[in-house]
Chain A
Amino acid sequence: MPEGYFGSYVTIGVFAVVGLVLVFGTLALTRLLRPNVPTRAKTLTYESGIDPIGTGWAQANVRYYVFALLFVIFDVEAVFLFPWATVFEDLGTQAFVEMVIFIGVLALALLYAIKKRVLEWL
């Protein structure tokens, strides 16, 4: 086990680099070994066997964007919960009350979103 803080991160770095080398190496190797005969019909965009119509862009429901926004908000919340959880035993009741307020406000936010029906799909 490499000692210390930087040691553990160097190992992570080595792990990531080996992973990337493995993946890109495989891709490079197959490039040498596989056939490559692109024809017009082959490179046509797939649309269930018929000729594609229009561009590759399709209109999607804008509600997806609301979910992404809510995701950012709750992601930030989750990030605050982790340091809280690690010091919970030391700070005890004080940290508990603080977090009840924090989660309470965000639960209110979730309730608001539910009441305004933005979380409903149909």
Chain B
Amino acid sequence: MGAIADFLGGPDVVIAIVKVVVAFAALLVATLLTIWFERKVIADMQARIGPNRWGPFGVLQTVADGIKLFFKEDVRPRYADRWTYGLAPVMAAVPSFLAFAVIPFGDHVTVGGERVDFIVSDLNIGVLFFLAAGSIGVYGVVLAGWASGSKYPLLGGIRSSAQLISYEIALGLSLVPIVLVTNSLSTVDIVAAQAGSVGNVDLFDGTFLQGVSELFEVIPNWYIWSQWPAFLLFMIAGIAETNRAPFDLPEAETELIAGFHTEYSGIRFALFFLGEYIHVVVISAMAVTLFFGGWNGPIVDEFLPWIWPVGWFLVKTIAFVYLFIWLRATLPRLRYDRLMWLGWKRLIPASLLWIMVTAVVNVNPEGVDEQTLRSIRLAVFGALFLLVLFVVAKGDPRLKQVVTPERPRSRRAQKQGVKSGSS
């Protein structure tokens, strides 16, 4: 067993520490910038100016806020459970960090003969690690709700954790089709499988649509084309996992004050926020990794060839962070029963169905050649896409219908009402 000994003795340990430090610095800066970006973008969408005092375009506003929270008194409510109360914000912030460890944010670079991959740790079960880190994140919410010794946080905590666990299943199931087409749980393998262009589609060969075939040579081979339903499921579940609009029920200020973190102030409150924004960045980065080719990009120049993939990765991730912000500025909050309806009656059945569809399409019956299979798969996906476009264009009548909440009567009274009405 020399692996650890070699590891601790060699130059690897320096590389590992440098990577860890760089990853943390990058995440913290990303958080600061994301908060500023969000405030600026939402201000712009609401025809305001947004932060503009500290630094150019107010970019240092978050730093100022952070310093303020740093020096604020940390008020602990009297009935709080001291130990658990202190632990909750840590449990909210650290798992969000951890999930970033398996995201490849660039290709590799050779420094002094040592190959350095742009990923903190390429685990063979990276996708599972990402899910496991997310599942630990639930503890931050549950413990904060319980430990505060207060009613609103308790209700908010229970409500929020029920939401998190409901959407966690959909999140996990939405990753299965990707694993199925890649045959690997490693994020590095998933990115590698998306390199290059779609290419080599002979569906239209010999017809007047010859040009379409050539078009496929320039389309990047990302999973989004074939796996867009999985992407939609992943994005919806991912946004719900970050507790952000339109799934920000845990913090519904009009009914629950601030949900599970009502009783938190000062630096502990800041830690909850840090966790939330890092989660946004990590979910965005994961969406890029799984569905948009990760660090793959159309141009890699001779000049500093390692910096281009990092750049492509950043551009794509920022686009997704923008999507998060855009949704927050646009969509109203879901009602709780609609949230559960969406999670359990739509997302979970839909993701199970999509796993089955992907499996059907990818089954390799003997005696059929590769090219025909590719064409059939493309045709199936195309037909599905058109079908969904049609449904969306037509509109689901159930979505348009105004749902009035039932009066909070007991079921007994309802049943009797129905009975007397019908007889």
- A–B touching in complex (CB under 8 Å): yes
B150 / chain A contacts, CB cutoff of 8 Å: 45-47, 52, 56
Residues of A within 8 A of B154 (CB): 56-58, 60
Chain B residues, Cβ within 8 Å of A11: 16, 19-20, 101, 120-121
Q: Confirm or deny: B63 has a beta carbon within 8 angstroms of a beta carbon on chain A.
A: no
> Shortest Cβ distance from B125 into chain A, in angstroms?
8
Contact status B348-A74, CB under 8 Å: yes
- Given A11-B19, A47-B152, A122-B405: A37 touches B359 (CB 8 Å cut-off): no
B contact patch SS: helix
Number of B residues contacting the other chain (C-beta, 8 Å)? 94
B172 in the interface (beta carbon within 8 A): yes
| Interface set, chain A 1-59, CB cutoff 8 A to B | 1-12, 14-16, 18-20, 22-24, 26-27, 30, 33-38, 42-48, 52, 55-58
Q: Which residue of B lies closest to A111 (CB)?
A: B349
**Is B267 a contact partner of A114 (Cβ separation < 8 A)?**
no
CA distance in complex: A1, B14 (Å):
10
Please give the distance in Å from A117's CB to the nearest CB on chain B. 10
Contact of A46 among B4, B166, B262, B406 (CB under 8 A): B262
Interface string of B77-90 (1 = CB under 8 A from A): 11100000010011
Given A15-B98, A45-B79, A56-B149, A34:B20 Cβ within 8 A: no
A65-102: contact bitstring with B at CB < 8 Å (1 yes, 0 no)? 00110110011001001100111110011001001100
Residue of B nearest to A22 (CB): B24
| CB–CB A85/B17 < 8 A | no
Q: Is B180 an interface residue (CB 8 A)?
A: yes
Q: Given that A8-B122, A45-B79 are contacting pairs, would A34 and B74 also be in contact in the complex, using a CB cutoff of 8 Å?
A: yes
Q: Does B23 count as interface, using CB distance less than 8 angstroms? A: yes
Chain B, 74-124, CB within 8 A of any chain A CB: 74-79, 86, 89-90, 93-94, 97-98, 101, 108, 115-117, 120-123
| Nearest Cβ on chain A to B274's Cβ, whole angstroms | 9
Tell me how far the C-beta of B158 lies from the nearest C-beta in chain A, rounded to whole angstroms.
5
Query: Contacts A30-B267, A96-B363: A6 and B7 contacting too (C-beta < 8 A)?
Result: yes
B74 touches A36 (CB 8 A): yes
Does residue B127 face the partner (Cβ distance < 8 Å to A)? yes
Q: B72 interface residue, CB < 8 Å from A?
A: yes
**Nearest residue, chain B, Cβ from A4:** B3
The verdict on B340 contacting chain A, using a C-beta distance below 8 Å, is yes
Q: Contacts A11-B19, A18-B20, A34-B266: A56 and B151 contacting too (C-beta < 8 A)? A: yes
A55 — which chain B residues lie within 8 A by C-beta?
Answer: 79
- A78 near B257 with CB under 8 A, answer no
State whether A89 and B77 are in contact (beta carbons under 8 Å apart), knowing that A12-B101, A34-B266 are contacts in the complex.
Answer: no
- Whether A81 and B349, one on each chain, are in contact in the complex, defined by CB atoms closer than 8 angstroms, is no
Q: Which residue of A lies closest to B147 (CB)?
A: A56
A82-B12 CB under 8 A given contacts A11-B20, A42-B75, A122-B405: no
Given contacts A7-B3, A48-B257, A88-B359, contact A43 B341 (CB under 8 A): no
Which listed residue (B15, B17, B162) contacts A64, Cβ 8 A?
A: B162
Given contacts A7-B3, A85-B179, A88-B359, contact A45 B77 (CB under 8 A): yes
Interface pair A1/B149, CB less than 8 Å apart:
no
Please tell me if the beta carbons of A121 and B336 are within 8 angstroms of each other in the complex.
yes
With a CB–CB cut-off of 8 A, which chain B residues contact A35?
73
Query: Is the Cβ of A30 less than 8 Å from the Cβ of B70?
Result: yes
Give Cα distance in the complex from A1 to B120, angstroms.
8
A10→B180 contact, CB < 8 A: no
Contact with A along B5-22 (1 / 0, CB 8 A): 011100011011101110
Quote the shortest CB–CB distance from A15 to chain B (angstroms). Answer: 5
Q: How many whole Å from B229's CB to the nearest CB in chain A?
A: 16
Q: Are A103 and B121 in contact (CB under 8 A)?
A: no
- B406: A residues at CB distance < 8 A: 122
User: Contact: B364 with A67, CB < 8 Å?
Assistant: no
Indicate which residue in B94, B176, B177, B348 contacts A16 across the interface (CB closer than 8 Å).
B94
Residues from chain B with a CB closer than 8 A to the CB of A10 are: 4, 7-8, 16
Which of A4, A11, A57, A86 lies at the interface centre, i.e. has the most chain B CB atoms within 10 A of its CB? A11
Q: Complex: how many Å from CA A85 to CA B189?
A: 14
Beyond A33-B71, A56-B154, A114-B345, is A1–B15 a contact (Cβ under 8 Å)?
yes
Q: Are B179 and A46 in contact (CB-based, < 8 A)?
A: no
Question: Which A residues touch B340, using CB under 8 A?
Answer: 67, 119, 121
Chain B residues with Cβ below 8 Å from A3 are 3, 6-7, 12
Nearest 6 CB-CB pairs, A to B?
A: A121-B337, A56-B149, A85-B179, A85-B180, A58-B151, A11-B121
Task: List 9 additional contacts besides A15-B20, A27-B268, A33-B70; criterion CB under 8 Å.
Answer: A3-B3, A15-B98, A15-B121, A75-B168, A75-B169, A78-B172, A82-B185, A93-B363, A93-B365
A-B contacts, 27 of them at CB < 8 A, read: A1-B12, A1-B122, A2-B7, A4-B3, A7-B4, A7-B7, A19-B98, A26-B271, A27-B90, A30-B74, A30-B267, A33-B71, A36-B73, A37-B73, A45-B79, A64-B158, A68-B165, A74-B169, A75-B172, A85-B176, A86-B184, A93-B363, A93-B365, A110-B344, A114-B344, A120-B337, A122-B405
